[in-house]
Amino acid sequence: MTIIQLAWRNIIKNPLNLLMSIILFGLGVGLISFLLLFNTQLKEKFDKNLADIDLVVGAKGSPLQMILCNMYHIDNPTGNIPIKNAAPLLKDLHPLIKKAIPLSLGDNYKAYRIVGTNHDLLELYGAKLKEGSLWAKDFEVTIGKSVADEAGLKLGDKFVSSHGFNEDDHTHDEYSFVVKGVLEGTGTVMDQLILTNTASIWLVHSGHGDEEAHDEEAHGPSIKENTEPAQEDQVQQNSNADLLHHMDQEITSVLIQYKSNKNFQALNFGRNINENTEMQSASPAIEMNRLYSMMGVGTDALNALALLIAIVSALSIFISLLKSMRERKYELAIIRVLGAGRSKVFLLIILEGLFLAIIGFIIGTFLSHVGMEILAKYLKADFRYSFTGMKWISEEWYVLGVSVVLGVLAALIPAIQAANTDINKTLSEK
């Protein structure tokens, strides 16, 4: 029966006495650890998806919405831009631009977005083919890992897209896409996209141009009435040069990577677009920082609340220990009589505080991971973003450290009192 065992036995002897402080401590730890888990994973997702994109150019509207839509694929487009407006960006010779990647949005399959673009997009996200090939002809698609896993699409499968971004909108049953390739998982937004060429998006929408003329802005690029019928030729529109042959068509946005973002001309480049064209540009880094700082207020408030709960719970551990120590003063005196020095009695109470804190930490960590796992299910259903509660992050070691410190601090005064108890006086009381 060591002091450690004795401390443990004292804790489990009457768990109901300590239940309240342990639960409270667990809640505080749980909330802190949950916030850490969520923020870390959210930031990780956002950062990974930045993919070195320096600028997004699209239709005028909310810049944040444009970023969320075109880079994170969690919002609707701000509208479309005519290729003739975007042409200067798409030409190869622009001195500032290293890469300009057109995106055309507008359709989905089971809420997975179909994106009309070129092969450069893969490079941005470091995506590699797992099987099959990249899209080449119209209506050929290459799908991300989550699309393959969750929507159940395989190589060679055919499917019909739905309009807009909700899967229950009406379907374009006259055109069917065929899966030509599947990408390896990257942990980025690539995993949840269905990639095809720009022309396929135009074709899907050309079939019933009239009936959707009224809502084309909301739904994505569609063919203008006066377009020459190039789409009938099944041309392979996989390069920017091809797009320039269709000046009257529309795309949703252009993702731009500069040759050097330290170039001061690059700083003016975005401003020029905003001031002198009908398009708008936005920097993902700036917009995301704006979003973080807006969310930051809420996160800070929650953090403060969690810390408050943790401190109150440490206070409650302090009170339970003090109470239990007073109830056990004869017991502690007897331990001294049997040969334990003051330091051992001190250690005993400190260990009890430590055990309470560690049990609280275990309960809290369990709660936060279960909570995160449940939230992950919802996030997956709503945004196709994969979070997990099964991951241990290094910040949790800090939470353990803080728990241990709080446990020891809470036990300090009771332990000092216990060590200083006058055994002669205690045992003389009849």
Residues that bind other proteins (CB under 8 A): 1-2, 6, 9-10, 12-13, 328, 330-331, 333-344, 423-424, 427-428, 430
Cα separation of 70 and 251, whole Å? 12
Cα separation of 30 and 306, whole Å? 8
Nearest residue to 237 via CA among 81, 114, 125, 104: 104
What single letter denotes the amino acid at residue 6?
L
Nearer to other proteins, 20 or 334 (CB): 334
For the CA atoms of 329, 331, 332, 333, the dihedral, rounded to the nearest 10 degrees, stands at 90
Q: How is 237-252 classified by DSSP, letter by letter?
A: --SHHHHTT-TT-EES
Q: How far is the CB of 341 from other proteins (least distance, A)?
A: 4
Q: How far is the CB of 339 from other proteins (least distance, A)?
A: 2
Q: How far is the CB of 378 from other proteins (least distance, A)?
A: 44
Cα separation of 176 and 238, whole Å? 19
Coil, strand, or helix at residue 352?
helix
HSE-CB for 248 with a 13 A CA cutoff: 9
Nearer to other proteins, 337 or 405 (CB): 337
Instruction: Kindly report the number of other CB atoms within 10 A of residue 47's CB atom.
Output: 12
Q: How far is the CB of 335 from other proteins (least distance, A)?
A: 7
Question: CA 343, 344, 349: angle at the middle one, nearest 5?
Answer: 100
Q: How far is the CB of 6 from other proteins (least distance, A)?
A: 7
Nearer to other proteins, 343 or 394 (CB): 343
What distances in angstroms separate CA 362 from CA 81, 191, 314, 356, 394, one per listed residue? 54, 34, 15, 10, 15
Nearer to other proteins, 143 or 419 (CB): 419
What distances in angstroms separate CA 215 from CA 31, 218, 320, one per listed residue? 44, 6, 66
Coil, strand, or helix at residue 362?
helix
From the number of C-beta atoms within 10 Å of its C-beta (0-12, 13-18, 19+), residue 71 rates as buried
Q: How far is the CB of 343 from other proteins (least distance, A)?
A: 7
Nearer to other proteins, 15 or 296 (CB): 15
Nearer to other proteins, 349 or 376 (CB): 349
Nearer to other proteins, 6 or 393 (CB): 6
Nearer to other proteins, 11 or 114 (CB): 11
Instruction: Kindly report the number of other CB atoms within 10 A of residue 87's CB atom.
Output: 13
Nearer to other proteins, 96 or 423 (CB): 423
Q: How is 302-347 classified by DSSP, letter by letter?
A: HHHHHHHHHHHHHHHHHHHHHHHHHHTHHHHHHHHHTT--HHHHHH
Nearer to other proteins, 17 or 272 (CB): 17
Nearer to other proteins, 137 or 344 (CB): 344
Q: How far is the CB of 284 from other proteins (least distance, A)?
A: 60
Q: How far is the CB of 426 from other proteins (least distance, A)?
A: 9
Coil, strand, or helix at residue 116?
strand
Q: How far is the CB of 330 from other proteins (least distance, A)?
A: 4
Q: How far is the CB of 289 from other proteins (least distance, A)?
A: 55
Contact 112, 179 (CB under 8 A): no
Coil, strand, or helix at residue 171?
strand
Q: How far is the CB of 428 from other proteins (least distance, A)?
A: 6
Cα separation of 256 and 273, whole Å? 13
